[in-house]
Amino acid sequence: MTPTQNHNNILAQRIKEKALELHFDAIGFAPAQKVNEAHQKHLDHWLKNDYHGQMHYMANHHDKRNDPTVLVPGAKTVICLAMNYHLEDYQHPEAHYKISQYAAGVDYHHTLKKKLYALLEFIREQTTTESARVFTDSAPVLERYWAQQSGLGAAGKNSCLILPRRGSYFFLAEIILDVELPVDPPFGKDLCGKCTRCIEACPTQAITAPHNIDAKRCISYLTIELKEPIPDGFADKTNDYIFGCDICQQVCPHNIRFATPSSEPDFKPLEAVASFSKSQWEAMDKSTFRKSFLKKGSPLARVKFEKLKNNISL
């Protein structure tokens, strides 16, 4: 091993240790190179069939989405990270209306980016990096692809990334930078086998085939991304979810066996999410929505008050 290789190995280990100190649960490194042809074809097919619905941003920046060196000039390494957000019994017993686990606390974008910038600052203290960016679900980055390439886990048939012996209740994040670090082997194991529980459990049949989601049928899309009221054909199939959906993850054997509650304080449920009963959700007015969610930095602020009330009224 050359002195340079030894230095890079030590640096990579320090970065991983720092990530764990920041409450990330997993970290891996992948080479910053063009996305493989099979994955590109899968994305092209998904877009061509209009499975993305009104999420028009998914069809934008095709070159950046398929090549991190276009997104971050000079990029050599994609650092992939995961953070647990799993919660148990986080809503009032008589809430009736359901909020997806990931949206119970404050907006995860802010929490993860704060930690990503702290990790990047640590890296800059150890290296001479000149080109680096942080990402978490807000840029043309194929997060699950890179998580698999960096050895974190594999996508389930519901398309959620599964971490072995941990489950899929994880936020993903990345740092793409111009420093060459020793990479981890890609995760090559199929974690689903013959299991089809997620496909069978979906009330709207949004999982049209293993690893293929028709977003236009997905409850998360219908309650958040779709700007119009939920169509009549799906109005009685939301299973009382009014923001997001966890059904396909709840039935996953990996989550049933291995999921553990998150220790991140920011992901604890906001007071309104934890305390609202059915009648309080139904009586909520604009003022209450603003005080309970908008001013608290809740993900629910993403949808307008009118959209959330429409979801409740179904």
Residues 160 and 208 placed together within one structural domain of the fold: no
Averaged pLDDT score across all residues of the chain:
96
Active site residues: 137
- Domain assignment present for residue 95? The answer is no
pLDDT digits (tens, 9 = 90+) for 118-159: 999 999 999 988 899 999 998 999 999 999 999 999 999 999
pLDDT digits (tens, 9 = 90+) for 11-47: 999 999 999 999 999 999 999 999 999 999 999 999 9
The residues with which 82 forms a beta bridge, in sequence order, are 26, 172
Q: Can you give the pLDDT at residue 4?
A: 64
| Domain termination residue (choose one: 177, 208, 237) | 177
Main-chain phi, psi angles of 36, to 5 degrees: -65, 160
Residue ranges, the chain, pLDDT below 70: 1, 3-4
- Domain assignment present for residue 98? The answer is no
Residue-range definition of the domain harbouring residue 8: 3-88+105-177
Residues 173 and 226 placed together within one structural domain of the fold: no
- Domain assignment present for residue 257? The answer is yes
- Domain assignment present for residue 187? The answer is no
| Domain termination residue (choose one: 144, 177, 210) | 177
Are the beta carbons of 276 and 302 closer than 8 angstroms?
no
Residues 52 and 124 placed together within one structural domain of the fold: yes
pLDDT digits (tens, 9 = 90+) for 70-84: 999 999 999 999 999
Residues 171 and 274 placed together within one structural domain of the fold: no
- Domain assignment present for residue 201? The answer is yes
Main-chain phi, psi angles of 211, to 5 degrees: 70, 15
Residues 164 and 210 placed together within one structural domain of the fold: no
Number of structural domains the chain divides into: 2
Q: Can you give the pLDDT at residue 2?
A: 72
